[in-house]
């Protein structure tokens, strides 16, 4: 097939540079422009020496005309930016994958409630497809706008999904205790993210309500007839990459065996390239998914409690962002989903 002409908006953030790293080895992708207002005119390889020899482009402030010449645009910008480009891209037949949150909700009031700004193109919310391939693969194929899921929602949704779909648990009392590395907060300067602030420490945040809570609830509500009750508490850990979601649910039948639960997970993800269900008794580590587009899951049954515990780990920059975006691109263009995404993880 011919090369896919790619534009990347927001190429200087962690997800942007991760996109560039992964796209280097994509045989059908040609990155034509890399946008950054703050670094316009700077050579990509000068800002990111890790990309020397792979990109000869400079960062630029792309015009609507330049973006319209792409086949696909990745928007790796903060919330509120992709929606300002979306109308023009759609009108010109360009596909858009937004790695921020602009198109993750169908409801304009809900989006504005959680993100605190007016949505610039609410008429496009309904046609945008939530880009979790394990759930929406068929819709992603024909989508023009794909809303790439958040990192916490990816790990948490994939961990709960088999339990909720199979009707094994009480969906009115789900708990997600999730931890993230500091790159999840982005590359912008912030006192709270300084090394001396996060090293040798550990804290929760957003305990009374986090933006990813309604996103996760919407995912789970789509799998069951009743409204899901979810407690979601994120935590910041002193590591660079990784999401670890520890998920708790009450079994409707306390006598269900761990073997039966495990079999449901194996059956649900049997044909999924990027979900690895580990053997009974396993405890996945975030380092086991470092740099790769994999969600690694283990299931446990808590002793004498009637509770199931799911451990779900991803790399927040890959399966939680750039890798999943490329997985979605591959689906949209009829390519094998693992194109440019079949590496082994980094260790140590």
| Tens digit of pLDDT at every position of the chain (348 positions) | 789 999 999 999 999 999 999 999 999 999 999 999 999 999 999 999 999 999 999 999 988 899 999 999 999 999 999 999 999 999 999 999 999 999 999 999 999 999 999 999 999 999 999 999 999 999 999 999 999 999 999 999 999 999 999 999 999 999 999 999 999 888 776 787 788 888 899 999 999 999 999 999 999 999 998 899 999 999 999 999 999 999 999 999 999 999 999 999 999 999 999 999 999 999 999 999 999 999 999 999 998 889 999 999 999 999 999 999 999 999 999 999 999 999 999 988
pTM for the model: 0.96
Report helix, strand or coil for 20. Answer: helix
* CA distance between the termini of the chain: 37
Q: Are 198 and 182 in contact (CB under 8 A)?
A: yes
Cα 183 to Cα 45, 239, 317, distances in angstroms: 21, 8, 8
pLDDT at 194: 82
Cα 136 to Cα 50, 160, 205, 207, distances in angstroms: 34, 16, 30, 29
Catalytic residue list contains 70: no
Strand partners, 309: 248, 300
- What token pair was written down for 137? 């693969």
- Could you give the residue range(s) of every CATH 3.40.50.720 domain in the chain? 4-127
pLDDT at 189: 63
Fold of 4-127: Rossmann fold (3.40.50)
Q: Are 237 and 181 in contact (CB under 8 A)?
A: yes
- Could you give the residue range(s) of every CATH 3.30.360.10 domain in the chain? 152-318
Contacts of 294 (CB under 8 A, 6+ apart): 274, 275, 276, 314, 315, 318, 319, 345
Contacts of 184 (CB under 8 A, 6+ apart): 151, 236, 243, 316, 320
pLDDT at 99: 98
Per CATH, the number for 152-318 is 3.30.360.10
pLDDT at 20: 98
Q: Give the active site residue among 32, 70, 121, 151.
A: 151
Task: Render the burial of 195-209: b for 16+ CB within 10 Å, e for the rest.
Answer: eeebeeeeeeeeeee
């Amino acid at each position: 097939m011919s090369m896919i002409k790619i534009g990347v908006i927001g190429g200087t953030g962690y997800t942007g540079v991760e996109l560039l790293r992964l796209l280097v080895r994509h045989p059908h992708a040609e990155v034509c422009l890399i946008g950054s207002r703050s670094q316009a005119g700077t050579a990509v390889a000068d800002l990111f020496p890790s990309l020397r020899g792979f990109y000869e482009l400079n960062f630029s402030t792309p015009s609507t005309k330049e973006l319209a010449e792409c086949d696909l645009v990745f928007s790796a910008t903060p919330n509120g930016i992709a929606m300002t480009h979306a109308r023009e891209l759609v009108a010109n037949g360009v596909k858009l994958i937004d790695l921020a949150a602009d198109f993750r909700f169908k409801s304009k009031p809900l989006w504005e409630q959680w993100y605190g700004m007016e949505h610039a193109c609410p008429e496009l919310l309904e046609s945008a497809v939530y880009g979790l391939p394990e759930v929406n693969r068929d819709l992603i194929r024909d989508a023009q706008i794909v809303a790439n899921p958040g990192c916490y929602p990816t790990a948490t949704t994939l961990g709960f999904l088999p339990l909720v779909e199979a009707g094994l648990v009480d969906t009115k009392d789900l708990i997600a205790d999730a931890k993230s590395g500091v790159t999840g907060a982005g590359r912008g300067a912030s006192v709270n993210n300084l090394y001396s602030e996060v090293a040798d420490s550990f804290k929760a945040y957003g305990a009374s309500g986090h933006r990813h809570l309604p996103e996760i609830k919407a995912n789970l509500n789509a799998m069951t007839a009743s409204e899901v009750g979810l407690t979601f508490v994120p935590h910041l850990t002193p590591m660079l990459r990784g999401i670890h979601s520890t998920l708790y649910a009450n079994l409707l039948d306390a006598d269900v065996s761990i073997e039966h639960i495990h079999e449901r997970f194996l059956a649900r993800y049997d044909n999924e390239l990027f979900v690895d269900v580990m053997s009974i008794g396993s405890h996945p580590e975030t380092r086991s998914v470092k740099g790769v587009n994999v969600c690694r899951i283990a299931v446990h049954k808590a002793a004498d409690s009637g509770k199931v515990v799911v451990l779900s780990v991803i790399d927040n920059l890959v399966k939680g962002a750039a890798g999943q975006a490329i997985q979605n691109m591959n689906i949209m263009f009829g390519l094998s989903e693992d194109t440019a995404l079949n590496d082994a993880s980094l260790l140590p």
